[in-house]
Structure 1
């Protein structure tokens, strides 16, 4: 008996998708894309989407084109675990737009620059991890900036330090950020090697920080 699977979707997407000019059909397609990605299919075949949604080829193509034209999703490439170049649907533009909706201050230019910096954090982590972030991981990274108030540049430096230590884990990055905050550091140790950074942090088994 197969274990039941769940699709996790940020509530703000459902609350705001009409504001982003996403139609009901496009929203349903987006939900299925997220569902496939949660199962490890970052670029589900159109035939798979068609089978699950009972849509025609024309409807599937129109939905994908609509989401791309509205800059809700992007088709990007990365190297998979086998070292092969593979395509995937990136949801970074969607989360970027959602973050823009949250900007309520009067300094529009400053808000745009902040949102662009936040988007660059998502893109950097995805590039370094060579995979698409899950919705829960997107939420975690977003809360570093909106809830914990870590500066995007500091987060990016923490990502680089984690990569130097070959720790491709949000938990490990979070550990670095907390450690820097405790020490009152606003910027990373830019000129230190990975070994130097490892000496700065308490000994931690990498397995403990590898996300499931």
Structure 2
């Protein structure tokens, strides 16, 4: 390397270091496969951490994530959906009363919890094989603890959800935002609404010409209060509500 090349290299390194350095958990780099994460999902998490630490952006847009990953918005949205669904990320919403601003941000506590459990299992386990099997069951996460994984041969929420998200994207005519994906996941996992009921609520909103999430959520809440649980209940409730026979 001659003097000119050395100077150019030195200037490049200096510029890179001055741009900032993100702190990435080493366990994420070494254990992401044990967490059932793909390489692209891991890189997405790294980018989200970097946006927060270097640029002060707690909720980068899909366009910003596209620019750094080189992947399409729909692919990124799908990966974010999975990370949220499996408990690696959460989306927090809040407001700054002094500035009157509403904000959203990613919460990484689920990721750190999974990494902590993995490191603990590695340290305490006496058998590596048992260690791996035990963690892979736990890595499906806090989602499992919330009853997301349904047993006894019933299709799980994870298997059902993609088709539900696709239907919503078709009706809305665009990819869903991470917050919208979390809303649907919340209907399934927290509110325990059957997928059939969610699709019927979407259908009602389309007929009413009010295709937005808040309206659909109000429909589901109203049905829940009136113990409407399936298509037959919806039909009977609609007839009573509209004064039908």
Question: For the structure 1 residues 90 and 155, does the alpha-carbon distance in structure 2 shift closer, same or farther, using more than 3 Å as the test?
Answer: farther
State yes or no: 1:22 paired with 2:39. yes
Q: Is the 8 A contact 1:180 1:186 kept in 2?
A: yes
Q: Is the 8 A contact 1:92 1:119 kept in 2?
A: no
Cα distance in 1 for residues equivalent to 2:156 and 2:150: 13
Correspondences of 1:100-139 after superposition (within 5 Å): 101=140, 102-103=143-144, 107=151, 109-110=153-154, 112-139=155-182
Q: Flag the structure with larger Rg.
A: 2
Cα distance in 1 for residues equivalent to 2:182 and 2:168: 13
Question: For the structure 1 residues 130 and 26, does the alpha-carbon distance in structure 2 shift closer, same or farther, using more than 3 Å as the test?
Answer: same
Aligned to 1:149: 192
**More helix per residue: 1 or 2?**
2
| Count of residues in Structure 1 that have an aligned counterpart in Structure 2 | 142
Q: CA deviation at 1:177?
A: 0.8
Question: For the structure 1 residues 103 and 173, does the alpha-carbon distance in structure 2 shift closer, same or farther, using more than 3 Å as the test?
Answer: same
Aligned to 1:91: 77
In structure 2, list runs of 5 or more residues that go unmatched.
1-27, 52-58, 87-139
Aligned to 1:36: 61
- Length-normalised TM-score, structure 2: 0.45
Question: For the structure 1 residues 117 and 106, does the alpha-carbon distance in structure 2 shift closer, same or farther, using more than 3 Å as the test?
Answer: closer
Q: For 1:93-139, what per-residue CA distance to the aligned partner results, in whole angstroms no more than 9, with x for missing partners?
A: 553465462236683853x5432222222221111111222222222
In structure 1, list runs of 5 or more residues that go unmatched.
1-14, 54-59, 65-74, 76-86, 202-212
Q: CA deviation at 1:90?
A: 5.6
State yes or no: 1:140 paired with 2:180. no
